[in-house]
Structure 1
Amino acid sequence: MSNSHCTDLLERIENRRCTVGVIGLGYVGLPLIDAFANAGFRCMGFDVDKSKVDSLLAGKSYIKHVSHDKVQAWLDKGLFDATAQMSRLDEPDMLLICVPTPLDDARDPDLTYVIETCNKIADCIRPGQLVVLESTTYPTTTRDVMVPILERNGLKAGVDFFVAYSPEREDPGNPDFSAAGIPKVVGAINDESLQVASKLYQSAVAGTVPVSSCEVAEAAKVLENIYRAVNIALVNELKVLFDQMDIDVWEVINAAKTKPFGFQAFYPGPGLGGHCIPIDPFYLSWLARKQGLNARFIELAGEVNRSMPAYVVSRTSSFLNEVSKPIRGSKICMLGVAYKKDVDDPRESPSFDLIKLLLAQGAELTYSDPHVPKLPRMRHYDLPAMDSQELTAEFLASQDAVLIATDHTDFDYDSIVEHSPLVIDTRNATQHVTANRDKIRKT
């Protein structure tokens, strides 16, 4: 039976007669819909947050790099529908799962959203559907967690329906890489599932990289993020060392990256942010413990990276002491609460740790972020309500220090340095400022 389902799906993909369902309409799901809609596929979006569904059906986006015009174009072409009704999961031919996979309080993987989604799919799955997990997770999740849930009503994975894993590869804020422009790694539970999933993604993205199993695809995604986490931890540790030696770590990195082979530049910062690097490596360290092993590089990298907000606050205290001011009572404006430049995504941003630590030490704290007009509520932080401040000359002059936590392009760094009494730069954002450099402290 699987061969007939496979042939039918391949033909429908080729002719754009299939519907692609995306579950989770966030920073991964919406760009994925854009890629498939641009390739001529009808798409359905599913999300338990009805406000998101209503916004999209009104042609309004809530994510900066997916514009209102894009959403309206999907609607105008009849290529998009959105719903909070999970009973409609039997309508699409393909279901792509893009739900969060956070860590719990013990820093173990929390698959609650994946499991809940799979249970909803299992309630109405029909023969011939393809189910793909895109959420980052540890190897064996697709085969050992997803498949048993999907099979609970008697249909057989790989026979009656198809299952694959293809990890998301989003780079928000990077205009050089859209969802459609990034090759997709695809692993599946059998050959037919791999064939169908690969054909689907080939129709909408720059290319696919088929691998031998779901486990290889899952491990590849975790490796990508571990690679970044470990190397960022290395330069963060070097930053602390070089600060003590009065060596500019940014100049060191810029010199080293002139080597045309054997070196890739990574940069320090006030901590790690985003939905990947602060979280995903610990899926593998958890799995290692389950195997009786210790993933020492991963754990050490996490320790170094988690220590950076406290280090930045310590350096801020030292810089204020140079001008005879304590943190307590000092007016400090933090520039940027998004986790990276030019995005509106605050997930896991180190800025929240900085805010928490500075408030605990008595700072009179404000923030400015052109992409985040109100400080969002974050589940691990109990912070006061704040609005983004306009960086007027008068406001900057009224501060005791400005702390650059996110190096947004929209910030006028020349003006910030000119009008601020002290600028603490954690991102080397002021490297091209030529005037008033005596006000700048890098950390």
Structure 2
Amino acid sequence: MPADLAVIGLGHLGLPLARAAVTAGIDTVGYDPDPRPYAELRAGRSPVEGTLTASEIRRMLSGGFRPTTDAAELGRVRTAVICSPTPLGPDRGIDLTALRDAARALAARLRPHTTVLLESAVPPGTTENVLRPLLEEGSGLVAGRDFHLACSPGRLDPGNRTHTLANTPKVIGGLTPACTESAAAFYGRLTDKVVRARGPREAEMTKVLETNFRHVNIALVNEMAVLCHDLGVDLWDVIRCAETKPFGFQPFRPGPGVGGHGVPVDPGCLPYSTRTPGHPLRMVSLAQEINDRMPSYVIQRCATLLNEHGKSVRGARVLLLGVTYKPDSADQEAAPAREIATRLMDMGAQIGYHDPHVLDWRVRERPVPRADSLYEAAAAADLTVLLQQHRTYDLQGLAVKAQLLLDTRGATPAGAAHRL
């Protein structure tokens, strides 16, 4: 059955987009070569934790949304949006394997006058240097002449109910002005505002700037956290004071590491031949280095606190609170909790965890014991470490019950716990 839209990749980008399209009355098919998302969606469950609720999935299905693993469906649509995952590879470069596979599957069935949009997070130049050749070679069509091609990087914050697809401006950069307008016509049905970039590279670079802005500023406050601890300064009070300045300052807060789906991108490490050697973003590389070492700093603080209280890490009972990458969400993408747990286990600690949004948590494929009673577990643990500040946590009560509490988020009342 023909559809107006195909969403390719049913993950943290594709599912919310498909939901918005169905809500807007757009006949939508969701394609993913992985059979697991299909099975989960057909059962009325979200295949990605923290993205959509079961009731939202059911409404999508009742509204006509059709998940599929059959690539033949891609040849029957007017618009195709590629939302394939682009994770970091072993060399810390962005892995475009899933994107290339999606492009090939679409190219074999691409029809004239189709609008193809790319939402996946990619290095600048990917739309023109990777996606375009694959689509043209596989279809025999020419982008900008026979079909429209544009990039509109995903901007969604998973689980955020305030800033949604509808009220978050959509940046669009087309291969040609006609491509941009075709993309704008589609997204204009889903969002309140469309922002036209000069081209695909400008749209791609917008995502790079937004993501790197976050990582660089988090790195700054992470370094400030270490410095302030050494100097005996309350960094959270410093931030509270600084954010009263009505201009020239935006507050960021430190933590045990940086998680999330957006990864910092250095254009000096592009995955194709049109690199810009000699022009790396040194600030981004340094920020990543700083943020990557925060889990080690947390381990160091854990060991020091235990030692100060006459205990060793080896054999210590350590309770980790909040193992997701953001508060009030089940999304664990790149959360630092797993690395912290791994290192503590390597040092001989007995690890347990509590998280109201994660009922099963595994480290090195082994299940980690989950605390049923938070207060009882904190009272029994030699050290409790707050890694994520979920709204349901009564931190004042927790500070009273815990033998020893390390707060990596600065969320407890002043003086109630040891802060990062």
TM bucket, shorter chain: over 0.9
Q: Deviations over 1:97-126 (max 9, x none)?
A: 111112221222211111111011111111
> Counterparts in 2 of 1:226-375, with a 5 A limit?
226-276=212-262, 279-282=263-266, 284-287=267-270, 290-375=276-361
Q: Match of 1:4?
A: none
- State how far apart, in whole Å, the 2-side matches of 1:209 and 1:192 are: 15
Q: Deviations over 1:360-400 (max 9, x none)?
A: 111101111111111157xxxx3522253223433221100
Distance change (3 Å), C-alpha of 1:135 and 1:36: same
Query: What is the DSSP-based 3-state SS (H/G/I as helix, E as strand, rest coil) of the residue aligned with 1:200?
Result: helix
Distance change (3 Å), C-alpha of 1:318 and 1:158: same
Distance change (3 Å), C-alpha of 1:363 and 1:387: closer
Query: What is the DSSP-based 3-state SS (H/G/I as helix, E as strand, rest coil) of the residue aligned with 2:379?
Result: helix
Query: What is the DSSP-based 3-state SS (H/G/I as helix, E as strand, rest coil) of the residue aligned with 2:28?
Result: strand
Instruction: Name the stretch that deviates more: 131-140 or 173-182.
Output: 173-182
Instruction: Name the stretch that deviates more: 264-273 or 20-29.
Output: 20-29
Match of 1:97 among 76, 82, 95: 82
- State how far apart, in whole Å, the 2-side matches of 1:345 and 1:183 are: 24
In the alignment, does 2:95 pair up with 1:110? yes
> Counterparts in 2 of 1:134-283, with a 5 A limit?
134-152=119-137, 153-276=139-262, 279-282=263-266
Letter in 2 for 1:308: M
The number of residue pairs the alignment matches comes to 414
Asked whether the 8 Å contact 2:123–2:208 carries over to 1, the reply is: yes
1:92 to partner: Cα distance: 2.0
1:37 to partner: Cα distance: 1.4
Distance change (3 Å), C-alpha of 1:33 and 1:387: farther
Asked whether the 8 Å contact 1:235–1:266 carries over to 2, the reply is: yes
Identity of aligned residues (%): 37
- State how far apart, in whole Å, the 2-side matches of 1:96 and 1:187 are: 14
Query: What is the DSSP-based 3-state SS (H/G/I as helix, E as strand, rest coil) of the residue aligned with 1:268?
Result: coil
- State how far apart, in whole Å, the 2-side matches of 1:190 and 1:164 are: 8
Q: Match of 2:402?
A: 420
Distance change (3 Å), C-alpha of 1:360 and 1:376: closer
Instruction: Name the stretch that deviates more: 320-329 or 382-391.
Output: 382-391
Asked whether the 8 Å contact 2:165–2:191 carries over to 1, the reply is: yes
- Residue segments in structure 2 that go unaligned for 5+ positions in a row: none
Match of 1:56 among 37, 41, 48: 41
- Residue segments in structure 1 that go unaligned for 5+ positions in a row: 1-16
Asked whether the 8 Å contact 1:37–1:74 carries over to 2, the reply is: yes
Asked whether the 8 Å contact 1:359–1:365 carries over to 2, the reply is: yes
TM-score by length of 2: 0.95
In the alignment, does 2:418 pair up with 1:441? yes
Task: Please provide the CA RMSD for this pair.
Answer: 1.7
Query: What is the DSSP-based 3-state SS (H/G/I as helix, E as strand, rest coil) of the residue aligned with 2:252?
Result: coil
Q: Match of 1:29?
A: 14
- State how far apart, in whole Å, the 1-side matches of 2:288 and 2:268 are: 10
Asked whether the 8 Å contact 1:370–1:388 carries over to 2, the reply is: no
Q: Match of 1:398?
A: 380
Asked whether the 8 Å contact 1:185–1:211 carries over to 2, the reply is: yes
Query: What is the DSSP-based 3-state SS (H/G/I as helix, E as strand, rest coil) of the residue aligned with 1:149?
Result: helix
Letter in 2 for 1:98: C
Query: What is the DSSP-based 3-state SS (H/G/I as helix, E as strand, rest coil) of the residue aligned with 2:368?
Result: coil
Instruction: Name the stretch that deviates more: 152-161 or 50-59.
Output: 50-59
Asked whether the 8 Å contact 1:229–1:281 carries over to 2, the reply is: no
